[in-house]
Amino acid sequence: MNTYAKLAAAALAASVLLPDVVLAQSTYFTVACLHNQTKYTIRYSDSQNDGRFTLSSLTPGQTMTYSLKYSRANQRRPLKVIVRYDADGSSGRFSRNIRLQGYSSTGESCREGKQYAFRPEPRDGRMIRIVTID
């Protein structure tokens, strides 16, 4: 078999065998994770991509992963997550709204996302804040 025939056979085999690989590599997400690094259960509301606010909670050590699937690479449509929480647990006296932004990735696991955490305020451990941790 001559060189051209070998190359043509290899190209045909690749086009038959590789579509799943190509499709897998063309799936893109933007991902953000929110960890609870306090000793309290945190109750909060979140809104994803201009949707309604829903009630959520994180127990100590628990993580919430937010992801948005892109329809194509480099779409540049940001993940928009708004987290609304009471920083001191006083029924809304110290309500805070924080926008979480994601990292672009080929997967939607937490380890691929931008990392945030609920943490106690350094000066007053009763107050809670959200910080970037990566």
Q: Which residue in 51, 50, 48, 56 sits closest to 85, CA to CA?
A: 56
Report which secondary-structure segment, H or E, holds 3. Answer: helix 3-17
Predicted confidence (pLDDT) per residue in 50-91, tens digit: 889 999 999 999 999 999 888 776 676 777 899 999 998 776
Each residue's pLDDT tens digit, 84-133? 999 987 766 788 999 999 988 888 899 999 999 999 988 887 899 999 99
* Domain annotation for the chain: domains and CATH numbers: 26-132 (2.60.40)
Tokens representing 54 are 């829903």
Alpha carbon separation from 39 to 1, 44, 85, 118 (Å, rounded): 70, 15, 16, 10
Contacts of 105 (CB under 8 A, 6+ apart): 28, 29, 30, 31, 112, 113
**Residue at 24: amino acid letter:** A
CA distance 104 to 95: 29
